[in-house]
Structure 1
């Protein structure tokens, strides 16, 4: 089969399209014919070797851990799934990934694919939507009637966070630049702060929020300022940087590391099919463009959530 792999850490030049062995379903696994796989920003530091202590990979490595596809083979011990089933999954991040024509996946991470969207586009859902769900409802314990500030709502996680919070009856203030403002507004954000025009602390001066969700890599000073926007007894949740542990005022701080959860993913799929959650795909590209997508991401020029199609 064809796959994009890298044989050593390095720049995007190490990503090469080449022949690779067709995966086989071990016990507890299935093999998927990949319909789509989504690029994630963390794919870049993993490929560069910057996070090898946390995400070590074996070479040659096939990247990409968000996938949608159709089951072609079922391994021993797998129940509930059959060849021909369309599925989505958040794959183990250091295992051979979905930047290929086929990928082996643990059956325990699978959810039936949404029926209301193109199967390839469904690859844009798993890890980012799970990150938003777990951040808001597991770690922040967000509930109806509360106020939420999302720093970085224009990204993949942020878009799902806005939608999920609004459906939960929460008042949402979101930061977004000109490129993503209309989309964030369409998701239902009550207030939008253009961080390129006015610094966030200045734009929300005098306000505090029950929950602040930080999806942007911030300096220690910027992080402290965000924590200062949390109401007494509230929560600061970050997917990027740790927060000070001793914040006072009863403020909880959590750094989130998302996990694959098939039951939660199935619930998110249900919401997509019910029209309650929109999957936004900014661009669809052939898998051969993966190195170019990495370059665009590094340059800050990626249009948004990008799905690659073998």
Structure 2
């Protein structure tokens, strides 16, 4: 089968579209014909090796955390799935990913795919959807009637976070740029703050929110200013760089690392099929273009990595200083905006539509 793999840590140039062995289903696994995967900045972090001390990879490695596809083989000990079922999943980060024609996936990670969107597009849901869900409900403990500021609402996670917060009955203030403003407003946000016009903390000075959800890359000083917008006893929850550990006023600071959860993913899928949750896909590209997608995302990823190193220091800062090439943006690579879905050639012409 064809797959995108890398044989060592490095920049986007280590990604190679090549032949790889087709997987077989082990115990507790299924094999899935991949309809689509999607790019996440977490894929770049793994490729660059910035977290190799916590999550070392075996090479060659196939990236692609998000999966949407059709089951073609069922292994031993999998009673709940059958050949032909359409599924979505967030795959284990240290296992072969979905940037391939086929992938072996743990059955425990699977949820039924949405019936109301193209199967390939469903790959834009798992990681960012679960990140939004877990940030809001497990970490922030968002309740009806509370107020929330979502900083970076135009991001892939932000779109889901706004929709979920609105459905919860929270009062939602969202920051967005010109490209995403109308989309975020259509999701029901009560107020849009255009961060490119006036700094967010200046616009919202003197206001307080039960929850501040940080989805934008930021350094220690900006995070501290956002923490000042949290009401006493509230929560500052960050998906990007962690907030200050000691805030006072009973404010909790939480740094979110999303995990696979099939039950939560199934709930997100149910909301998609009920017309309550929109999946936003900016572009669909053939899988062979995945190295170019990583290159286009390199500028944004480099900024995230540099800020994370400022905040966290330690091994991450040393690794980034030692090898800047892993996060350097190639010349004239362009820019990646919105959620990109990658489709293997074997699925490009016959991706199921529900």
TM-score in same-fold range (> 0.5): yes
- d(CA) in 2 for partners of 1:239 and 1:79? 35
Other-structure match for 1:309: 343
Other-structure match for 1:138: 138
1:185-233 CA deviation, whole Å, 9 max, x = no partner?
1111111111111111001112110000001221111111111100011
Give 1:245 shift: 2.0
The yes-or-no answer on 1:55 pairing with 2:89 is no
Other-structure match for 2:237: 237
Taking the TM superposition and a 5 Å limit, the aligned residue runs for 1:154-165 are 154-165=154-165
Other-structure match for 1:197: 197
TM superposition score normalised by structure 1: 0.98
- d(CA) in 2 for partners of 1:121 and 1:181? 22
Give 1:258 shift: 0.8
Give 1:52 shift: 1.4
- d(CA) in 1 for partners of 2:171 and 2:61? 43
- How many pairs align? 310
TM superposition score normalised by structure 2: 0.86
The answer to whether the 8 A contact 1:283-1:303 is kept is no
- d(CA) in 2 for partners of 1:86 and 1:275? 19
Other-structure match for 1:42: 42
Other-structure match for 2:82: 82
- d(CA) in 1 for partners of 2:297 and 2:179? 15
Q: Using the TM superposition, name which of 68-77 and 293-302 deviates more.
A: 293-302
Give 1:158 shift: 0.5
| Bigger share in helix | 2
2:21 partner SS: coil
Which segments of 5 or more consecutive residues in structure 2 lack a partner in the other structure? Answer: 301-334, 345-354
Give 1:41 shift: 1.0
- d(CA) in 2 for partners of 1:113 and 1:28? 19
Where does structure 1 differ by over 4 angstroms across 4 or more consecutive aligned residues? none
Give 1:268 shift: 0.6
Give 1:159 shift: 0.4
The answer to whether the 8 A contact 1:284-1:306 is kept is yes
1:42 partner SS: helix
- d(CA) in 2 for partners of 1:253 and 1:178? 29
1:172 partner SS: strand
Give 1:253 shift: 1.1
Give 1:55 shift: 2.7
Other-structure match for 1:7: 7
Give 1:156 shift: 0.8
Cα-Cα RMSD: 0.9
Other-structure match for 1:246: 246
Which segments of 5 or more consecutive residues in structure 1 lack a partner in the other structure? Answer: none
Other-structure match for 2:303: none
- d(CA) in 2 for partners of 1:72 and 1:189? 41
Other-structure match for 2:297: 297
